[in-house]
Structure 1
Amino acid sequence: MKYLALTIGPIYETFVQTKKTRAVWAASYFFSWFMKQLTIQTNKAGFKILMPALNGKDIVFVSNHGSGLYADRIYFELSEKTKKELEDIVRSLISDVAKNIDEKNRENIDNYLSQYLNIHIVELEEKKEKVLKTLNDRLDQKELAQNYAFENETNYLLQFFEQKINESFLAEDAFSDKKNKRKFLSIPEIATTTLFRTGDKVNYIEAVRESFNKKEDIQLMDVLKERNFDILPYHKYYAVLYADGDYIGKNILMHKDVASDFDKLRGFSEQIFKFGQQAEAKIAQYGGNGIYLGGEDILAFLPIACINEAKTENEKETHTIFNLIHELDISFDNTVGTFAKKNNLTPPTLSYGIMISYVKHPLREAMQIAHDLMEYNAKEKHCKNAVAMRFQKHSGQYMQCCIEKSKFCSWNNIKELVKEYTIKINDSNKEPRKSNADLLSGVIHRLKDDMYFEVFACAARENRLEPFFENFFDEKVHKDVDNPKNKFLKHIRELSEKVFNDYPDNQQCRDILFTVLRYVHFINSDKD
């Protein structure tokens, strides 16, 4: 039997050239849109699609929040169809894109896209159980040969993404069934989602419109301040999140029981789509924008903490990035993990790279750092299933750590501590928040001291942290069992014990404690 496979690019290299949030979204969504249209048209033309899975009579899976759900590869089993017919469909699609961008300049744009887009097709005859691996290997080789549009001085795609994307065919496709077509928010909007959810919504929307009309997203902070919004330090920061599945190819796609069964491959693809739909919903509920959720990959822009959209005051809680990671892990296990378990395969996990940046920090650089954190820190250095996180202040100073989720005791304790001491920071009573920030400031200051940390680490390794804390925190308030400060110190001590029990390297322990506690401190703090 003969098989065909197609890949499209350059995805990452395209959206890192963009500057604004909506342009990043458009660049990413474009490639997903192209693959979705290719799925629709090849299915209509009678091609037998192996992957991605078709969604019953609807044919394609639809995003509910404007995220790109389609990955960069499509696979076919050939019967009567030919490679030439697939090439003709691709050629027609490119022509349609050029027309949609600018019909008056269609020919130039068409030529540019034909040079710029890295669309590779491979055809082979192979045994059923080896076909997916062989196709992917061939596509990997093809992707090493990149196209470059040397003959064009104008980057028509980038120009299109940076300009009137709100009225484009991409926005129409992504948001046509939604009440509000402007679903892709600027970085300052994402960072200040809590202000929108808790404050005067009309006043906030007017502030957004004012800054948007000035064509300077970053001015939103100044406009909000002028309109008397209470801007806290953490409202001036945002996060870029990258996530990627671990061992998907090795443990699932290349496993002999799946690779030789096309129905199972489609079943896996269906679960990947369901995860993408659930993940974009979780990200939107949290207050962020899911940019790309193709395959098991995620790119999202997030507030570093955000109040939920509860109906009553008593139900309002502030959630953090750690809440979101927990929710994404559950969704991944309930979809892709369930597929693996049903087929007696090792359930895959997710690794994350998270870059927390000041709103004026270049988005392109923040994306690059988050991507590198995921690839090199979380996946290569720490055996995957990890969270690599950097928190960088506007001064350029940063703290960074890598947390291994497989170390359940410390990972669960981190999530619990972060949740407990951030969940009510938006309550009207500000005293607990101030108290938490003051106490954490003292602990963090001590952790920065090399001599203190050496003694601290020694006490942790010898299981003597309780008397150590009693010695260094010996004020009367720290002795009161019922005092919240004493309770907080106990939680910090317990977290320290679990981190040192799980990690043999003292510097890694220090990085984790310092970064996590600084994150909690920053969310609680009134001062930058």
Structure 2
Amino acid sequence: MRKYICMTIGPIVNTLIKARKTRETWMSSFLFSTLMKILVSKVGNREQIIIPYSEDNFELQGVGLYPDHLVYYCKDNSVPDLDALIEEAREELLKEIIGIDEKGNILSKIGDYPVEVLRKFLKDYLLIYYFVLDVSVLPEEDKKEKNFLTLLDQVFNTIELQGKVTPYGTFKLTDLFRMIPKMALYEKAFVENQMKRMPSLVEIATKGLYGLDRVKYEKLVWNKIIMTDEAEDTDFEEVK
């Protein structure tokens, strides 16, 4: 009987509910999707993966496409060093956030924060739970793949209810949100695609008005939203 590696990541909901801007909502999803993509890449053969669906050229394209669960079977029933795998994944996520230099080395800081501060935050804040499922110990009716996947869903739901006390530090989730415009992750997803900023909630809600009078609409958005305290998502270093 096969052995399966089962992983779940978070805290997704607790991160989303603290988002106050559109880019913060985006980051709350995209960060975890990127982490799961990295974890998926650590699996030796994509054919071993039960969930999620993935291909070698499956790019995120600026939005979170990966779910929060990973299940794959162990080749030759050999269980890898999962703690080491998770540490590697965290470090790769750090590189995605901060960026690398011409030699491929991670940059020493992002904004006013040295890399070690963000590295510690990710280690303390991110939840990456895992367990190994030995199908041979399951009752006969649960040994079929579709049956134990239903069982796993219940287990994942229980695990995700387990909280984690994040050590109090000088760097908080709000600080992570504040540095989004400086992230290599943000640069790759948006700025490289000629997007200087993410639209505000007001702009998203009134998008249908744009075609009625483009000049008046842009003037209204600039004067009433971007240049006032109603600004939803503006990085004034980027927007001129």
TM surpasses 0.5: yes
The reply to whether residue 144 of structure 1 matches residue 161 of structure 2 is yes
Task: Provide the rounded CA distance (Å) in 2 between the counterparts of 1:217 and 1:83.
Answer: 50
In structure 2, relative to structure 1, the CA distance for the partners of 1:125 and 1:151 (3 Å cut) is same
Answering whether residue 208 of structure 2 is matched by residue 194 of structure 1, we say: yes
Residues 12-58 of structure 1, C-alpha deviation per residue, up to 9 Å, x if partnerless? 1112112112111111221112112222x224x44621111124x52
User: Residues of 2 paired with 1:2 and 1:26: CA distance?
Assistant: 34
8 Å CA contact 1:120–1:139 kept in 2: the answer is: no
Question: Does the aligned pair in 1 maintain the 2:226–2:232 contact within 8 Å?
Answer: no
| Cα distance change of structure 1 residues 218 and 184 upon mapping to structure 2, 3 Å threshold | closer
Q: CA 1:218–1:53 in 2, change beyond 3 Å: closer, same or farther? A: closer
1:147 Cα deviation from its structure 2 partner? 1.4
1:61 Cα deviation after fit: 5.2
Whole-angstrom CA distance in 1 between matches of 2:227 and 2:93: 28
Residue 103 of structure 1 is matched in structure 2 by: 108
Q: Cα deviations across residues 457-497 of structure 1 (Å, max 9, x unaligned)?
A: xxxxxxxxxxxxxxxxxxxxxxxxxxxxxxxxxxxxxxxxx
Contact 2:9 2:32 in 1 (8 A): yes
Residue 78 (structure 2) pairs with residue 69 (structure 1): no
Deviation by residue 1:387-432 (Cα, 9 ceiling, x = unmatched): xxxxxxxxxxxxxxxxxxxxxxxxxxxxxxxxxxxxxxxxxxxxxx
Structure 2 CA distance, aligned partners of 1:219 and 1:141? 35
The whole-number CA distance in structure 2 between the counterparts of 1:219 and 1:38 is 30
Letter in 2 for 1:73: H
CA distance in 2, matches of 1:81, 1:209: 59
- Structure 1 stretch displaced more, 138-147 or 205-214: 205-214
**Aligned residue number for residue 52 of structure 1:** 52
Correspondence list, 1:352-501, <5 A: none
Question: What SS does the corresponding residue of 1:8 show, helix, strand or coil?
Answer: strand
**Would the alpha carbon gap of residues 172 and 86 (structure 1) be closer, same or farther in structure 2, given more than 3 Å must change?**
farther
Higher relative contact order, structure no. (Cα contacts within 8 Å, ≥ 6 residues apart): 2
Which amino acid letter does the alignment assign opposite residue 124 of structure 2?
Q
Structure whose alpha-carbon radius of gyration is higher: 1
C-alpha displacement at 1:73, in angstroms? 0.5
Match in the other structure for 1:21: 22
2-side partners of 1:90 and 1:146: how far apart?
A: 19
SS at match of 1:74: strand
Q: Name 1:128's counterpart in structure 2.
A: 144
Partner of 1:258: none
Displacement after TM superposition at 1:214 (Å) = 5.2
Q: Greater share of helix residues, 1 or 2?
A: 1
- CA separation in 1, counterparts of 2:188 and 2:214? 31
Equivalent position of 1:8 in the other structure: 9
Work out the CA distance in 1 between the residues paired with 2:175 and 2:233: 23
Q: TM-score when scaled to structure 2?
A: 0.73
Q: CA 1:173–1:131 in 2, change beyond 3 Å: closer, same or farther?
A: farther
Aligned sequence identity (%): 28
Mapped partners of 1:23, 1:183: distance in 2? 12
Could you tell me which residue of structure 2 aligns to residue 162 of structure 1? 178
Render the CA deviation track for 1:443-467: whole Å, top value 9, x for unaligned. xxxxxxxxxxxxxxxxxxxxxxxxx
- Aligned residue number for residue 104 of structure 2: none
SS, match of residue 197 in structure 1? coil
Aligned residue identity for 1:20: K
Alpha carbons of 1:176 and 1:21: their partners in 2 closer, same or farther (altered >3 Å)?
Answer: closer
SS at match of 1:7: strand
Whole-angstrom CA distance in 1 between matches of 2:209 and 2:221:
12
Return closer, same or farther for 1:176/1:219 CA change in 2, 3 Å cut-off.
closer
- Cα distance in structure 1, aligned partners of 2:50 and 2:30: 23
Which letter does structure 2 place at the counterpart of 1:148? V
| Rounded Cα–Cα distance in structure 2 between residues aligned with 1:23 and 1:219 | 9
Q: Which amino acid aligns with 1:115?
A: D
Q: Distance in 1 between matches of 2:161 and 2:208?
A: 44
Alpha-carbon RMSD: 3.0
Distance 1:194 1:13 in 2: 32
Q: Distance in 1 between matches of 2:21 and 2:233?
A: 13
Q: How many residues align?
A: 210
5+ residue gaps, structure 2: 99-106, 136-142, 235-240
Counterpart CA distance in 2 for 1:219 and 1:50 is: 38
Q: Does residue 184 in structure 1 map to residue 184 in structure 2?
A: no
**Partner of residue 171, structure 1:** 186
- In the aligned structure 2, how far is the partner of 1:83 from the partner of 1:103? 34
1:118/1:146 contact within 8 Å kept: no
Contact 1:15 1:27 (8 Å CA) reproduced: yes
Q: Deviations over 1:282-333 (max 9, x none)?
A: xxxxxxxxxxxxxxxxxxxxxxxxxxxxxxxxxxxxxxxxxxxxxxxxxxxx
Question: Counterparts of 1:172-251 in structure 2 under 5 Å?
Answer: 172-175=187-190, 178=193, 180-182=194-196, 184-201=198-215, 204-205=217-218, 207-209=220-222, 211-212=225-226, 216-217=230-231
1:30 is aligned to 31
Amino acid paired to 2:186: A
